[in-house]
């Protein structure tokens, strides 16, 4: 999916792709810059065709929407949606599961670090307020 053209493909992708009902209702171009960078990172042209980016965005949004709907179905049995519902859905895709658990643990570490930083900052503020003479 690059702008260089010239490569032949056995299946025309954009002609066979039909956007879903939800993708036609949503605001387009929200993830355009991020997808361009990701596409370049995976070997595409630095400036991919806008049609390629739009197609990728439709595919990604459709995938995420379907994943969320499936997770809601699973979560509705318990009455709430949780992170574990998503982990359950991707359990057979080990690279996604490993990356997701890595990001979740990193998020927890950042939360703990912020909590410690905020409490230390509060302690320092209290120390300086006590030490300063009031005129």
- Averaged over successive runs of 10 residues, the pLDDT of the chain (135 residues) comes to 45 46 69 95 95 96 96 92 95 97 97 90 78 58
| Secondary structure of 39-86 in HEC code, one letter for each residue | HHHCCCCCCCCHHHHHHHHHHHHHHHHHHHHHHHHHHHCCCCCCHHHH
CA atoms within 13 A on the CB side of 97: 10
Length of the chain: 135
What DSSP element (H or E) covers 118?
helix 94-131
* Rounded Cα gap, residues 29 and 57, in angstroms: 8
Q: What is the pLDDT of residues 21-59, one digit of tens each?
A: 554 577 788 999 999 999 999 999 999 999 999 999 999
Supply the pLDDT for residue 131: 59
Contact between 67 and 89 under an 8 Å Cβ cutoff? The reply is: yes
* Rounded Cα gap, residues 31 and 107, in angstroms: 22
Supply the pLDDT for residue 16: 44
Supply the pLDDT for residue 10: 42
What DSSP element (H or E) covers 97?
helix 94-131
């Amino acid at each position: 999916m690059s702008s260089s053209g010239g490569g032949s493909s056995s299946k025309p992708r954009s002609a066979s792709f039909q956007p879903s009902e939800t993708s036609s209702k949503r605001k387009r171009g929200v993830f355009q810059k991020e997808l361009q960078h990701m596409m370049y990172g995976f070997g595409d042209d630095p400036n991919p065709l806008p049609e390629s980016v739009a197609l990728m965005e439709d595919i990604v949004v459709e995938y995420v929407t379907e994943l969320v709907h499936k997770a809601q179905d699973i979560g509705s049995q318990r009455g709430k949606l949780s992170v574990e519902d998503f982990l359950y859905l991707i359990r057979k895709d080990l690279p996604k599961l490993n990356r997701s658990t890595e990001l979740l643990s990193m998020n927890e570490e950042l939360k703990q670090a912020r909590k410690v930083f905020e409490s230390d900052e509060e302690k320092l503020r209290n120390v300086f307020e006590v030490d300063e003479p009031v005129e």
